[in-house]
């Protein structure tokens, strides 16, 4: 029996709600992962069924400061100043592994080191392309592949080489970061674009000398990692203007992401690779300095009524729906559609991403998030639309407590995505709404 037929003999109720904004701060959340996607839902059809504004919802933001950043899909490098959110920067920590044990470089006096290159395979970018100043340091702390690292994690670096330990070859620190840049190696244009960072050639020669020293540094990967613990790659851009800069995504486990030693031996060109793969420990360290607007919104419900926010590695949007507790316990939820309009113009480089994950707190005041679904972004409606029927039914049935819904960027720990949601008093055209259709038995 379909909904239209059932409404002929049972009481049909359609509820629609707009948002009342209230902002809070909650830290250290955990969430379960869900695949990205959302059903296409016609909210006009729901409204045509007789939706009315009968209760309000409360919206606010929570803050997470312990996002896992190790072994993520992409590693991020760069910095930018978001005109609305503030500054965002990310640096990479990674181990390297040997492509072969006990390499025999032969007569070192017959070797000329041409270059030592750290190649990173581009994945994507957020923000604007342009020049950024790169620094690379050798780690002095051990990393461990079975350790969980967070966005606040760091590792100590050595400062005994060159300019405060910076391994970048002089004159090669400033790089034009652009995911669409063509990559040419020798006479070959690579199919996949790379960021190729030049390290000082003397480091390459030292690696060869130590490999041939008889100290066992290159006997296996454990010995090598004890000798050469890894790299920190970061930017040092100084002051940036609002709207300047970008974050660039790299696939460290791509076979073409590696450190390559180029050299000539008796006139013959040769290479030796230092690998980055799934056996390596690697993580992002992310720094976010929220703008005063974001901070004021987090602590001021009047300001928050205009907008609420979500940002990868940072704030998350949230709503509380007190009226769900008033739905009769014998109700069957047929539809529950949450529409979250976002503030975005097609010309902006700061896209809202493909959607959000939707979670709830099992207990009010708890830090643990329980996933209940996803909301996909529609460029046509400039909104996120989530089907939360199962969640509402679970609340009505008493299987879940009516705490709050939390909205995180779809790739919360592997991107720089950010979203500005319209609040209930937005100056923009569309307000957020919840549509619920249920019947009572």
Distances in Å between the Cα of 226 and the Cα atoms of 139, 142, 229, 282 are 11, 8, 6, 16
**Helix H segments across 9-152?**
43-48
CA distance 242 to 83: 5
Q: What is the pLDDT of residue 191?
A: 62
Q: What is the pLDDT of residue 189?
A: 67
Report pLDDT digits (tens) over 352-380.
999 999 999 988 877 788 999 999 999 89
CA distance 7 to 219: 75
The contacts of residue 441 (CB under 8 Å, 6+ apart) are 10, 330, 331, 332
Other C-beta atoms within 10 Å of 16: how many?
20
Segments of the chain with pLDDT less than 50: 1-14, 16, 18-41, 47-53
Q: What is the DSSP string of 356-381?
A: EEEEEESSTT--BEEEEEEEEEETTT
The contacts of residue 97 (CB under 8 Å, 6+ apart) are 221, 224, 225, 274, 275, 276, 277, 279, 280
**pTM for this structure?**
0.86
Q: What is the pLDDT of residue 424?
A: 79
């Amino acid at each position: 029996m379909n909904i239209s037929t059932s409404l002929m003999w049972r009481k049909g109720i359609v509820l629609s709600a707009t948002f009342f904004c209230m902002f809070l701060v909650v830290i250290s959340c955990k969430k379960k992962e869900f695949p990205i996607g959302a059903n296409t839902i016609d909210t006009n059809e729901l409204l045509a069924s007789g939706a009315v504004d009968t209760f309000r919802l409360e919206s606010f933001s929570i803050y997470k400061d312990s996002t896992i950043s190790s072994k993520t899909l992409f590693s991020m490098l760069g910095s930018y100043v978001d005109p609305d959110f503030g500054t965002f920067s990310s640096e990479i920590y990674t181990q390297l592994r040997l492509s072969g044990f006990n390499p025999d470089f032969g007569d070192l006096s017959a070797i000329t080191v041409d270059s030592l290159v750290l190649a990173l395979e581009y994945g994507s970018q957020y923000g604007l392309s342009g020049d950024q100043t790169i620094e690379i340091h050798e780690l002095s702390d051990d990393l461990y592949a079975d350790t969980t690292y967070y966005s606040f994690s760091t590792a100590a670096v050595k400062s005994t080489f060159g300019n405060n330990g910076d391994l970048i070859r002089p004159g090669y620190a400033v790089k034009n970061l652009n995911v669409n840049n063509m990559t040419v190696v020798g006479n070959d244009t690579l199919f996949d674009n790379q960021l190729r960072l030049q390290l000082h050639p003397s480091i390459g020669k030292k690696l060869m000398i130590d490999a041939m020293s008889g100290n066992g540094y290159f006997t296996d990967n454990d010995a090598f990692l004890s000798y050469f613990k890894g790299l920190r790659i970061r930017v040092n851009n100084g002051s940036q203007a609002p709207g300047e800069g970008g974050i660039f995504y790299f696939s460290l486990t791509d076979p073409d992401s590696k450190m390559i030693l180029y050299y000539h031996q008796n006139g013959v060109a040769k290479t030796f690779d230092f690998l980055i793969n799934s056996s390596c420990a690697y993580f992002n360290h992310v720094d976010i300095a929220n703008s005063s607007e974001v901070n004021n919104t987090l602590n001021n419900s009047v300001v928050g009524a205009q907008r609420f926010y979500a940002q990868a590695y940072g704030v998350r949007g949230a709503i509380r729906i007190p009226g769900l507790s008033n739905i009769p316990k014998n109700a069957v939820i047929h539809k529950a559609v949450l529409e979250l309009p976002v503030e975005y113009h097609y010309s902006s480089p700061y896209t809202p991403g493909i959607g959000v994950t939707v979670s709830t707190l099992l207990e009010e005041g708890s830090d643990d998030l329980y996933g209940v679904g996803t909301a996909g972004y529609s460029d046509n409606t400039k909104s996120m639309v989530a089907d939360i029927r199962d969640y509402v039914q679970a609340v009505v049935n008493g299987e879940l407590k009516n705490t709050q819904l939390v909205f995180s960027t779809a790739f919360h720990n592997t991107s720089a995505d950010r979203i500005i949601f319209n609040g209930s008093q937005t100056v923009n055209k569309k307000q957020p709404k919840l549509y619920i259709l249920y019947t009572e038995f």
